[in-house]
Amino acid sequence: MKAAVVGAGWAGLAAATAMREAGCDVTVYESGHTPGGRARRVPHPPHEGAAIFDGPLDNGQHILLGAYTDTLALMRRLGRDPDTLFLRLPLCLASLDGGFRLAAPRLPAPWHAAVALLRARGLSWGDRLASLRLMRALRAAGWRVTPGETVGGLMRRHGQPRGAVRLLWEPLCLAALNTPVSQACAQLYAHVLRDSLGGPRAATDLLLPRVDLSALWPDAAADRCRMRYGHSVRAVTPGAGGIDIDGERYDAAVVAVPPHSAARLFAGGPARELAIGLDALPHAPIATLNLKLDAPWRLPHPMMMLADAPARGHHGQWIFDRTALSGQAGAGVRGGVPAQGGADITIVVSAAMALAGQDRKVATDALVDQVREHAGRAGLPPMPAVAGSALLIDRRATFLAVPGLRRPAPRTPWPGLALAGDWTDTGYPGVLEGAIRSGLAAAAVILEHPRRRGVAR
């Protein structure tokens, strides 16, 4: 079967890999020149004639969890070793200012999560017991919540104290759903808790990439496919005889681009009603600030939490020590040479609506001030001067995960046409594992196509 994939993000390349493994002749269209979609490496601008960072930047900082079983399995199928490419750490959520710490001991589930909650620094005993009650109640309910409920509503219904919400549940919600608790879908959040804190002990492990996001596995997947880089597809037209992509006929196709882009591809053809629905999906931004410091500076942990204070412009929620991650990896990773005489750190802001229209220098200065202040509270050495910065804002990073959102299934009314992306109905929020699962589901739809009977084995 002659098949096409539009979009070389994680969903599209997962679909392409599965179809290729099944014997399909696969062509992947990608408007850019680097595989990975919204989780890819990006060139960083020169600073006074020289690159200021020691290795490639990513267009957003991503972490994975041990629960991301489909992602890890796909990497292994492509010959990519997760044990080498990730720094795997037991769950430890610690704030830079020293005010909060939750760490999972190496105990069997569910005791690892229970002990982590009961020992959490910064939570009162009332907060800890209430958090434990919430997890027990969700497990007893089969991880089902009241239809249409928000995360904020879930917290109120289960009597979660302000401290537990502020220090634990809200940061996890923003990180996983990229949606404020007042708007976020409680059912999606329950799925996240089920597969992380409510899952096996290893499911809560943090997987921090030691390489750029394209090098994790998208590069390897693209190397095995026929790639058409720099081709911005204009139209995808389904019909009785197959799928036309810019005038070229395929037996089947997977459209794996963001929903607003997919809507544009379908707008002029028989799938125009599908286009209207896709264009209506709400979205939310994520901001990533990369900093180059002019002297070495290490964080106590490679990934730490930041307490935000929006009224002061302190919107940062997480901070990453990229120098520590690259140093863990050794030669050939993130440029092959750990930083010498400086440090690279990254600050992440989810649901970054407030930053989307803000002056970039003002936003950068406020985030730097936030980190300096929090490090000072913890008694850490002062953060060195900033030698350079790169603020990246993805205005359509994920869908806005509100209750009742009608996300499309991978299957469409046209045989041989499937949709893929973390925005499809995966049961997950807009996370990388959701993208992988959507790509595999889309490939499964295509592989049911009658024309596959002619595929050479």
Least confident of 38-42, 321-325, 338-342, 355-359: 338-342
Q: How far is CA 181 from CA 117, 142, 144, 173, 226, in A?
A: 20, 21, 17, 7, 42
Per-residue pLDDT of 11-38, as tens digits, reads 999 999 999 999 999 999 999 999 999 9
Per-residue pLDDT of 257-287, as tens digits, reads 999 999 999 998 899 999 999 999 999 999 9
Q: What does the pLDDT read at residue 20?
A: 98
Taking the CA atoms of 408, 349, 290 and 357 in sequence, report the sign of the dihedral they define: positive
Per-residue pLDDT of 327-345, as tens digits, reads 644 333 333 334 456 899 9
Describe the chain by its helix, strand, coil percentages, rounded to 5.
35, 25, 40
Give me the phi and psi of 396, to 5 degrees please.
-125, 50
What number is the average pLDDT over the span 180-195? 98
Q: Is the pLDDT of residue 160 over 90?
A: yes
Whether 206 contacts 63, CB under 8 Å: yes
Q: What does the pLDDT read at residue 456?
A: 38
Common-topology check for domains 91-204 and 283-398: no
Per-residue pLDDT of 210-257, as tens digits, reads 999 999 999 999 999 999 999 999 999 998 889 999 999 999 999 999
Q: What does the pLDDT read at residue 74?
A: 99
Q: Maximum Cα–Cα distance for the chain, whole Å?
A: 68
Q: Can you tell me the distance from the alpha carbon of 75 to that of 60, in angstroms, rounded to the nearest whole number?
A: 20
The pLDDT confidence band at residue 48, using thresholds 50, 70 and 90, is very low
Q: What does the pLDDT read at residue 134?
A: 99
Q: What does the pLDDT read at residue 339?
A: 43
Q: Is the pLDDT of residue 457 over 70?
A: no
Q: What does the pLDDT read at residue 46?
A: 55
Q: Is the pLDDT of residue 83 over 50?
A: yes
Task: Provide the angle, in degrees to the nearest 10, between the axes of the packed helices 10-21 and 432-447.
Answer: 40
- As a whole number, the mean pLDDT across the chain is 93
Quick one: fold of 91-204? protoporphyrinogen ix oxidase, domain 3 (1.10.3110)
Q: What does the pLDDT read at residue 455?
A: 47
- Tally the C-alpha atoms within 13 A of residue 50's C-alpha that lie toward its C-beta: 5
The pLDDT confidence band at residue 452, using thresholds 50, 70 and 90, is low
Give the rounded distance of the alpha carbon of 141 from its chain centre: 27
Q: What is the pTM of this model?
A: 0.93
Percent of the chain at pLDDT > 90 equals 88
What number is the average pLDDT over the span 284-307? 96
Per-residue pLDDT of 376-395, as tens digits, reads 999 999 999 999 999 999 99
Q: Is the pLDDT of residue 319 over 80?
A: yes
Q: Look up residue 280 and give its two tokens.
A: 């209506």
Q: What does the pLDDT read at residue 449?
A: 76
Q: How far is CA 166 from CA 208, 338, 374, 425, in A?
A: 24, 36, 17, 29
What residues does each domain of the chain span?
2-35+213-282+408-448, 91-204, 283-398
**What's domain 2-35+213-282+408-448's superfamily in CATH?**
FAD/NAD(P)-binding domain (3.50.50.60)
Q: What does the pLDDT read at residue 334?
A: 38
Per-residue pLDDT of 120-133, as tens digits, reads 999 999 999 999 99
Q: What does the pLDDT read at residue 137?
A: 98
3-class secondary-structure state, position 450: helix
Whether 191 contacts 407, CB under 8 Å: no
Q: What does the pLDDT read at residue 49?
A: 42
Q: Is the pLDDT of residue 77 over 80?
A: yes
- B/e letters for 307-336, b = 16+ CB within 10 Å, e = fewer, are bbeeeebbbbbbbbbbbbbbbebeeebbbe
Q: What does the pLDDT read at residue 52?
A: 78
3-class secondary-structure state, position 399: strand
Q: Look up residue 334 and give its two tokens.
A: 């993130």
Q: Class for domain 283-398, per CATH?
A: alpha beta
The pLDDT confidence band at residue 197, using thresholds 50, 70 and 90, is very high
